[in-house]
Amino acid sequence: MSDADQHKIPLALQRQMAAAPGDTMYLLFHVSEIGPEQFAAIERAGYVVRHQTSIVPCYAVSGPGRGLGALVKEAWLVRVEEDGAVETM
């Protein structure tokens, strides 16, 4: 992963993926656009798309951390973060 691509993934998540690249991770892929090209690329990288949203273009996925290496170079991938429970007040 190049230095230019590292800003898309938080350092803590990079370390987690490096420690266990084969473990299933639950991630949010924030993208510049939703479409069949992005969906296909995500699946080719070994991820299962669990949900997608269009108001805030995002895919909720699960799969091995090692698959992210191929996707992080894509211009449409803006940011990656861990998926998890959201609590409101």
pLDDT given at position 89: 80
Q: For every one of its 89 residues, what pLDDT tens digit does the chain have, with 9 covering 90 and above?
A: 566 567 899 999 989 988 988 899 999 999 999 999 999 999 999 999 999 999 999 999 999 988 888 899 999 999 999 998 878 88
Give CA–CA dist 84/13, Å, rounded: 13
Distance of CA 50 to the CA centre of its chain: 12
pLDDT given at position 27: 96
Walk me through the domains of the chain, giving residue ranges and CATH numbers. 3-82 (3.30.70.80)
E strand or H helix at 81: strand 77-82
Sheet holding 58-64, edge to edge: 48-53, 58-64, 24-31, 77-82
